[in-house]
Amino acid sequence: MKMRSVLAGGIALAVISAPAIVGMAAMMPISSAVAQQATLNLTGEGEGRLTIGSRPAQTVTFVTVTSQPGGRVEITLRLSDGNLLRWGGQLARQGGGEAQIDLRNSGMADAMGLLTLRYQGNRLISLLGEGTIDSQPMSIRFTIADDSVSRPPTTPTNTLNLTQSGTGTFGLQGRPNRNINFASVTVQQNNSAELSIRLADGNLIRFGGQQTRRDASDIVVNLTSSGNANAQGTANINYGANNSINSINANGTLDSQPFFIQFSGQQVSRPPQPPTVPPSNQAIACSGQMQNGWRYRAEAVNRRFTQIRWERTGQLPTVTTLRFERNNAQGEPVYRGAFRAATEVTLIDLSRGNPRRGTQTSVGVEEWGWSRGTCR
């Protein structure tokens, strides 16, 4: 299989009238030899193998490594199924085109290990390492070369233009959240993508990136730029008939500052319906299936979700216990849990706290993606 490297910079798209991004990480008490090294901003496209515990090995197709003054490092792994993993660590040594990183975390999970990377300029050459994630053994072997790499086909490949008025929130660390009233998504035939959001004050923010997966209702975009600013992250777009946008959920970093986007498209108005609130002791179950074949049944009692039951052919069933975390900007309850105590699970009650027959849930599992469940 041939492979090629990708330089940082991606797609240069403008941030129109948006305030300048400010703020850098404070220096941390590490050795002066490391603290004085230039920050890393590396990208590499190729093929690698990631194993965690007894799970099937996963293919890694794209890696970014960024560091901040003080030595804090973020490693982003793009898997062949379009999902994104983020690791955090601390720079231990750097010089001569090589760096070593002490692995500290994997999303919400604890992690330990040593990662060794080789690079030339802004080009990542290889990433090797071993350690543990939530006490499970982990191994990563990733390399690039100068030739092109074969990617899984993305279907369909025709140009797609989506636009939608609606409501949402754009959040950037250290700044007040800002309201969104319009969004658009354009995907070209070469899979380059642009995500634009218009804020309530009239400002427009554009992100550029690459489509990594598309089906009849969902698009996954790997965000790589925002005008002259560096951007990293993933956008999940759910769309419907007449090129409408149902929802956008995105998060990542913008010039090293964490950001998020939550947007819901304006729904067609319907005649008022009488309220149908189930008795407080009535149990509701909402079922769906993840793309990797795991079927789930989310159960709610007294209008609060308490657990998710998981089943898959050839696998032992398991249960995720849920805890209420907060209501999001749309007033939808958000619950958290874990799959087999190792992988983060999120459930969003799209009924806004009144689950009943016909309403939906959105279930997301780290490394698996998102799925809609229907309540019965």
In tens, the pLDDT along 11-55 reads 333 333 334 333 333 333 433 344 445 678 888 887 888 988 888
Q: What is the Cα–Cα distance from 252 to 258, expressed in whole angstroms?
A: 6
Domain of residue 310: give its range: 283-375
Q: What is the Cα–Cα distance from 250 to 257, expressed in whole angstroms?
A: 14
Domain-ending residue, one of 265, 292, 319? 265
Q: For the chain, list residues with pLDDT below 70.
A: 1-38, 145-158, 267-282
One domain for residues 135 and 70: yes
User: Which tens digits make up the pLDDT trace of 278-323?
Assistant: 444 568 999 999 999 999 999 998 889 999 999 999 999 999 999 9
One domain for residues 201 and 254: yes
pTM of the full predicted structure? 0.35
What is residue 34's predicted lDDT score, i.e. its pLDDT? 43
Q: Is the residue at 136 inside a domain?
A: yes
What is residue 151's predicted lDDT score, i.e. its pLDDT? 35
Q: Is the residue at 153 inside a domain?
A: no
One domain for residues 106 and 173: no
One domain for residues 176 and 211: yes
Q: Is the residue at 103 inside a domain?
A: yes
> Taking CA 107 as the corner, what is the angle to CA 195 and CA 305, rounded to the nearest 5 degrees?
85
One domain for residues 293 and 371: yes
Which has the closest alpha carbon to 137: 50, 207, 30, 217?
Answer: 50
One domain for residues 94 and 188: no
Q: What is the Cα–Cα distance from 160 to 216, expressed in whole angstroms?
A: 12
What is residue 203's predicted lDDT score, i.e. its pLDDT? 87
Q: What is the Cα–Cα distance from 226 to 96, expressed in whole angstroms?
A: 31
Q: Is the residue at 24 inside a domain?
A: no
Q: Is the residue at 14 inside a domain?
A: no
What is residue 19's predicted lDDT score, i.e. its pLDDT? 40
Q: What is the Cα–Cα distance from 127 to 133, expressed in whole angstroms?
A: 17
What is residue 306's predicted lDDT score, i.e. its pLDDT? 92
Tally of domains in the chain: 3
